[in-house]
Each structure stands twice: as structure tokens, then as C-alpha cells.
Amino acid sequence: MSALVLDSLSVTLDGRPVLRAVEASIGEREWVALIGPNGAGKSTLLRAVAGLVPYEGEIAVLERRASALRRPERARRVAFVPQTPLLPAELTVAEYVLLGRTPYVGYLGSERQADREAVEETLARLDLVRFAPLRLHVSRLERQCLKWRSPVNTMAMPAASAAAIASASFTDPPGCTTARIPARAATSTPSG
């Protein structure tokens, strides 16, 4: 079974073709690297697979046409972590990771205990538990405190990136196992 199939995938942004007729078939549990120079379309291809940019051609995720999937169903199958993720300043790491459970929460619903437990398990698996209560952003005042070596309740950037990956780790398509990131893969110690 193919986890992902791209058939004549093309993307045009601002009237300029970025991808032209890309063909690929990736099997379950297969690891693939996209390699190319800046501006070659690597991120655009991933954004198309996640449904974040308009495209022509066909994308199939686990044998289902991506265009036939409703947004929450697609988000449960595909997650995209940008190179520089948006990190809302006032959220803690745990709250940010909980955002990854959004596709599993009903319209106008709220997270359940199972969602909070999934976050706890993910934070533990990625060795991020110690960062859970820390905010994602260092303010100007906090940077000044850091300059004077005052304790600050924030986290270092590598751990913020790990939090973004953790948030995306809840894709669990039927019949597939989510790729597990080794503990301590992208963490650092809290500032302070």
C-alpha cells in the first residue's frame, strides 16, 4: 500500500510555476528526503500535500484522493511543520502541542482528557516534559533579564522547534504508525 502518491502534481504561485508534473509513490514506513537548492519547490510540495496551497494533479494519501478528504480528516493524515513555525507568544509548550489535537476535536468542541493524555505521552516521548509549562516566546524585557542573568521562565529555540514537531506528531492514519522521533533529538535545557 502506498502512503503517498503524487500524480502530475503542479503548483503555480503568483502566476509562476513552482512545481511541474511531479510524480512519486512512497510506501508505508518508507523514509524519503527532499533535496534541492533554495527555491526548488521542496516546501511548496509539502504544503501541497498538506492542502495548504492550491495544486493541479492528484495527491493520494493512504489510497484516498486527498481532494476527497475533509479538512479534519486530511489533517489527521498529514501534518506540516514549516522551517520557521509560528509560535504564539503567550502559549506554553503544552498548550502549543495540544493545538496538534485540533483535527480530533469536534466543531465548537474542546479537548478531552484523551487529548491531554496524548499530549503528555508525546511530551514524554520527545523528552519535552520539563518544557511543558514554559512559554514559547522571549519578550524584549525577558531578553534584558537574560542579559543580566535573571531567571526567566522561557525556553530555548531548539526546544521550541521540537514543540512544533510534537504538535504535528498526532497524525496517525489508519494502518500506519506515526514516525517516532528519538528522545533528546532536538531539545535543550530551559533558559534561566
Mind listing the pLDDT tens digit for each residue in 1-38? 888 999 999 999 999 999 999 999 999 888 888 899 98
Domain range for residue 133? 79-192
Q: Helix-strand-coil percent breakdown of the chain, rounded to 5?
A: 35, 20, 50
Alpha-carbon dihedral angle through residues 75, 81, 86, 90, given to the nearest 10 degrees:
70
- Pick the closest to residue 126 from 164, 95, 179, 166 (CA basis): 166
User: What pTM value is reported for the model?
Assistant: 0.69
CB 51 within 8 A of CB 82: no
User: Is the same domain home to 191 and 124?
Assistant: yes
| Domain end point (choices 39, 71, 103) | 71
- Pick the closest to residue 79 from 106, 58, 51 (CA basis): 51
Q: How far apart are CA 20 and CA 38, in angstroms?
A: 17
Cell numbers placing 60: 493520494
Mind listing the pLDDT tens digit for each residue in 47-97? 999 999 999 999 999 889 999 999 888 888 888 888 777 777 788 888 888
- What backbone torsions phi and psi does residue 120 show, to the nearest 5 degrees? -60, -45
> What is residue 1's predicted lDDT score, i.e. its pLDDT?
81
| 180 CB neighbour count, 10 Å cutoff | 10
User: Is the same domain home to 141 and 59?
Assistant: no
| 138 CB neighbour count, 10 Å cutoff | 19
The tally of domains found in the chain comes to 2
User: Is the same domain home to 101 and 189?
Assistant: yes
Confidence of residue 159 (pLDDT cuts 50, 70, 90): low
User: Is the same domain home to 85 and 172?
Assistant: yes
